[in-house]
Every structure is written in structure tokens, then in C-alpha cells.
Structure 1
Amino acid sequence: MSSKATHPASGAQFSIESGDYRAVVASVGATLRSLTHAGRNLVVPFGADEVRPAYRGANLAPWPNRIAGGTYTFNDKEEQLPVNETGRMTALHGLVLWNSWEVREQTPSSVTLGAVVEPQAGYPHRLDIEAAFTLTADGLDWRISAVNTGTGPDTLPAPYGVAPHPYLVAGAGKVDAWTMELPAAQVLQVTPDRLLPTSCAAVVTHDGATFDFQRARTVGATEIDHAFTALSTAPGRDMVEVRLLAPEGTGVLMRWEPDGLPWVQIHTADRADAPELSRIGMAVEPMSCPPDAFNSGQDIVVLPLGGRHDARWSIAAL
């Protein structure tokens, strides 16, 4: 019997296309493995047989970001989640990162994958989650839905949060040379060692301070791994728009409705341990809630039995 692997490390591969857009979604984590426009990368890709690095293209549910110590209290019960970010002692980015999602629908320009979160220690709830990716002439439409399908003893309301984790690419080079426009008036202050919230501080409008990108400006050497809120929509639209532009004039846009996604995590992907991978993309993660929301309760979604939550964002070339 041959020992050659017949299944890539990132799972089954689903290629979709529309016009100049091409994307590949991998079944492990329902991950956006690549997205291109006219052959140009719009996200940092990775190989089909790679173990997904740095959460590239992942779906983060039933919580995004960090839970301090993996502990929280809900339904009058203290829960303990596995700590998977041991350096900071947090439970990071949810429970569906490494699930093998099943295909539920596919066309030449779209694919929908689904996964079930089974009741478990730290999260005694059953959720059915779907991630749908659709390419059009306008770019990628990416949606995630979750339904509390609990039965028997696990029928209590479930805490929930969601976000995507793409690393956007404006063009050649690293983020330092790119300009970013981020319409956020507040940034969450976090502890430097564990990146956990302390307070939300207003960014002084248009003063060019460290985290103020309300007017497009060059990222430079700024290191960002923070959650932003108080988001404003683009003129004449009901959508938040984050824009990245490279010096050569290429760029990428991510947009979403702020009502259900009032937060966005921005990360310059700094990697002191791997300089060749450092700052090669900008993580833009629209979030339904801030870091450690299972403890603070801020903007947490509570799904009753049968309750459903939908979230949507899009990525397009500029």
C-alpha cells in the first residue's frame, strides 16, 4: 500500500471563480486559502498541503479573539475552555478552527461548508455553523451563520461571537509602505503582555496619532494588534470600508455592515521569530464582539434554542 498522502493537510479543496476573481476554500476550518483578482493576491495565501499558518483565512466562532484564562461564567455556571494560546494563557479564536467542514452546496462561483460544534467541556452547547463564499464581478461575499440546535440537557441559551481572519494584501512589499484608511474613532486599550482589554479610549480625530487612520495614511513602522470600534460608514453607504493601497496604485477593500459587527481587529502581522513572514499582510477581522467578551459581556450574542445569528463581509480589489 502506498504511503503517499491522498488528502492535503488543509483538507478538500474547493475552487470558485467569477470574472477576474478566483478563490480556493479548504475544508479544514472552511478556510479561505487564496483569493486573487486578475492573478494578483488579495489575501496572503498558503499551500494546500500546509498546516494553516497564523490563522490565515480562518472562521472564528463561537468566539473571536481571546478569553482570559479560558474561563468565563454563563447561565450561572463557571466554564473552563482549553487554553490554546499558552504564552498569554488565553482561549483563542473559537472551536471550529480545525474541524473538517462538509460541503453543503457548490456552484462554479460559490461554495457553502458546514460544521457542528458539539456540547463539550467549557462550551455545553450544540451549534450548527455554515460558511458561504460567493464570487461575483464585485468580489468575494463571505457569510457565516450559526444556529443553536441544542437538545436534551444542552438547551440553555449559548454565548456567541464571530469574525473572519483574512490577511489582506494591497500589493508588493510589506505593510509598512501601504496606506490604510480605517474609519474607527475608538481603539481598545490592551495589556502589552496578554493583549487583554483595559479600557476603550477615543482616538483624537485626524491628529495622525499612532492608531488614527481615519484619514488614509502610511502604516510605516506602526505595530498594531488592537480592536477598534465607533465605526463610521462610507459616504452614501451603510457599510464600513477599510481600504489598503500600495505605492504602485493597487489595493484591496473590505466592507461590512456595522450593526452586527461593531468591532474590527487590525493586526500588522509582526513576527519577530520569522522576519520573512513578518508584516506581509494586514489582518482585518470584523468582529461581533471585542476580546474577552464572554467575561465582559460587551456586545455578546446570546442564542436561545433555535436562535440564529448571521454575519457578512466582502473583499474586493481596488
Structure 2
Amino acid sequence: MARVPLPGTQHVLRAGEYEASVASVGASLRSLRVRGRDLVVPFACDEVRPAYRGATLVPWPNRVVDGTYAFGGTEYRLPLTEPERGHALHGLGAWLDYKVVGKDADRVSLEGVIQPQAGYPWRVRVRTTYALGADGLSQTVTATNESVDPVPFGTGPHPYLVAGTGTVDDWTLELPAADLLQVTPDRLIPTGVAPAASVDADRFDYRTARRIGTAEIDHAYTGLIRDAAGDATVRLTDGSGRGVAMVWDAACPWVQVHTADLPDHGAGHRAGLAVEPMTCAPDAFNAGEYPYDAGLTVIEPGASVTAGWRIAALD
């Protein structure tokens, strides 16, 4: 029997000057390059994926505070997968081994099933397609409720974008978002939404492109400023003006941004900027506890929902 690499089966996609590698575990984007230049922080083809780097986050992105929530009049408790903060982090699909349901030279479709389990007693089928083209790498995620009851759901990706040479400190960020989700400094528990400029403009407001410098960010944004097509675009560039863009539509009214600050300054510290478009806010499973629209999706039995995003080079 052929040995399967630690991140799962590798699917290499090519189109024009782009090349991407998708790992089956977590339907994870392992690498994305254009003319040999990294657009995301990669990981090796035979190492356990570092944390959630490149993973597809389902059936919720970000955190469920304390791992507890109520839905349909019943209270649920999830395993705490972020023990240092005491939360359930980034869903249940990050270590699921997705199976191929379609593949070509420039695209792959993967499918996995979230089985009913403690804390999430519903069955959800997840299909995701990665496709390379002249405009970069797109990913769509479609979730179908195969349960007899409605299910709470959210999704998003977890790439760490790379502008070029240097680190996060050296890069210029354009982030078209007016509002910031404020959180507690220790456990990142949401406390409210406020204009980013009024909270701390130097640290959080990037509506006008500027250098990130030493700013530390691990926050969700909303109030996205969109173009005529309804898309929001984050641009990250280095000193030469080249870089990477991430684009998403109205399916994702939130985006988490993280400057990849590691407490021990170890490998990966500020090596990429996590940009995570999300269909819902952090802790959206507890949406009723907040005075703003957390964007929780409820999928009816037999129904499906879809979200998507795209990563492209800037030259």
C-alpha cells in the first residue's frame, strides 16, 4: 500500500503561471505560487499541517466561546480545541480527510461529511472546489444539511498571505473595512462593534493603504466597502509594489485578520498575514447574545448554502 503523506493526499493544480497544492486533510491549501513566488505561507508536503494554516473551516470559523451555545431551545457543549483560551476553535472539519469527487489539471473538488457528534448532532455534507485560472485561485464551499432538523453553520478559509520579501512588519495593507469587532485582550471574547478609526486608527484602520509595521492584530472586521460588483478586496504589497490580493463577495460579511504573532517568536512568527473571509462573526453560534448581526446561517433540512473567495497575485 502506498504511504499517504501526513497532510493527506496531495492535489497539484496548474494553470498558466500559477501552481497550487491542496492537501486532503482539512481540504487545506498547502501552497500557492506564481512564477515560483509564494502567495501564501506554505507547509511541507509531508509534515502535519501547522495549526489551521490553509484549512477549510466548517461548520463554524473562529471561536465558539466556552464551547457552549444554545440552538433550537437546546444547549450544546463542544470539545475545547483552544484550551489556552477555553474555546471551541475553527469548527469540526480541520482534520477531516476529504475525498476526491472530481479532478482536472486546474481544479479539484473534494467532499467530506461532518457526522453527528457530541455538541453538534447534525449531519452536514461539505463539498469544496479549488480552481486555478488567469485570475488566481478560487475556492467555493457548499454545505448541505442531511439532517431532519435545521443546523447552524458558518465557514471560511484560513490562508496566511505573503506579499513578497520581508515579513508582516514590512508590508502595506489595504483593508476596506470600517468596523472592528472589539474583544477582550486575554480570551478574545467579543464585546461589541465600533468604528476601527475610533478604537485605534493607527493599529486597526487600513481603509487607506499603509504599512502594517509593528501593529498586532487578531480581530474580525465588518462594514466592508465593496466595489460595483459587490466584492471586497484585501491587498497586501511589499516594498516593490508586488503582492497578493484576496477577494470575496457578499456571502462573507466578516473577515478575520491576524498578524501571526507567536508568543515564542518561533517559526512562522509574522511570516504571513492571515486573511479569513467569514460567513459569520466570531461566536456566531451565540448570535442572540450580541447587539449586532453576527450573521449566523441556518440551513434547513435538505437545503444547501455556498460561499467563495479568490487569491491572486499583484504585480
Identify the TM-score tier after normalising by the shorter chain.
over 0.9
CA distance in structure 1 between the aligned counterparts of 2:165 and 2:4, rounded to whole angstroms: 32
* Structure 2 match to 1:196: 189
* Structure 2 match to 1:256: 248
* Structure 1 match to 2:203: 210
Q: Deviations over 1:295-314 (max 9, x none)?
A: 12421000010111100100
Q: Does 1:290 align with 2:287?
A: no
* Structure 2 match to 1:40: 37
* Structure 2 match to 1:275: 266
* Structure 2 match to 1:110: 107
CA distance in structure 1 between the aligned counterparts of 2:214 and 2:28, rounded to whole angstroms: 29
8 Å contact kept, 2:203–2:217: no
Q: Where does the alignment leave 5 or more consecutive residues of structure 1 unmatched?
A: none
- One of 292, 305, 308 as aligned partner of 1:309: 305
Q: Deviations over 1:188-212 (max 9, x none)?
A: 000111111001011238x943200
CA distance in structure 2 between the aligned counterparts of 1:139 and 1:302, rounded to whole angstroms: 31
CA distance in structure 1 between the aligned counterparts of 2:145 and 2:160, rounded to whole angstroms: 29
How far apart are residue 42 of structure 1 and its match?
A: 0.3
**Residues 144-223 of structure 1 correspond to what in structure 2 (within 5 A)?**
144-150=141-147, 155-204=148-197, 208-223=201-216
State the AA in 2 paired with 1:118. Q
CA distance in structure 1 between the aligned counterparts of 2:33 and 2:201, rounded to whole angstroms: 32
- One of 8, 14, 17 as aligned partner of 2:14: 17
* Structure 1 match to 2:50: 53
CA distance in structure 2 between the aligned counterparts of 1:54 and 1:124, rounded to whole angstroms: 25
State the AA in 2 paired with 1:313. W
How far apart are residue 49 of structure 1 and its match?
A: 1.1
8 Å contact kept, 1:75–1:156: no
How far apart are residue 274 of structure 1 and its match?
A: 3.5
Q: Where does the alignment leave 5 or more consecutive residues of structure 2 unmatched?
A: 289-293
State the AA in 2 paired with 1:204. A
Q: Deviations over 1:260-307 (max 9, x none)?
A: 210000000001224342100000000011111101242100001011
CA distance in structure 2 between the aligned counterparts of 1:213 and 1:37, rounded to whole angstroms: 26
8 Å contact kept, 2:137–2:311: yes
CA distance in structure 1 between the aligned counterparts of 2:265 and 2:112, rounded to whole angstroms: 32
State the AA in 2 paired with 1:49. D
* Structure 1 match to 2:231: 239
CA distance in structure 2 between the aligned counterparts of 1:294 and 1:107, rounded to whole angstroms: 36
CA distance in structure 1 between the aligned counterparts of 2:246 and 2:236, rounded to whole angstroms: 9
8 Å contact kept, 1:263–1:287: yes
What SS is found at the alignment partner of 1:209?
A: helix
State the AA in 2 paired with 1:266. V
How far apart are residue 131 of structure 1 and its match?
A: 1.1
CA distance in structure 1 between the aligned counterparts of 2:16 and 2:55, rounded to whole angstroms: 24
- One of 130, 134, 137 as aligned partner of 1:133: 130
CA distance in structure 1 between the aligned counterparts of 2:209 and 2:13, rounded to whole angstroms: 32
8 Å contact kept, 2:197–2:204: no
* Structure 2 match to 1:80: 77
CA distance in structure 1 between the aligned counterparts of 2:156 and 2:77, rounded to whole angstroms: 22
8 Å contact kept, 1:159–1:301: yes
CA distance in structure 2 between the aligned counterparts of 1:210 and 1:178, rounded to whole angstroms: 14
| RMSD of equivalent CA atoms | 1.4
How far apart are residue 40 of structure 1 and its match?
A: 0.3
Moved over 4 A (4+): none
Q: Deviations over 1:92-149 (max 9, x none)?
A: 0000000110000000000010000111110011000011000001100111010001
Q: What is the percentage of aligned positions where both structures have the same residue? A: 51
CA distance in structure 2 between the aligned counterparts of 1:101 and 1:300, rounded to whole angstroms: 24
CA distance in structure 2 between the aligned counterparts of 1:147 and 1:208, rounded to whole angstroms: 40
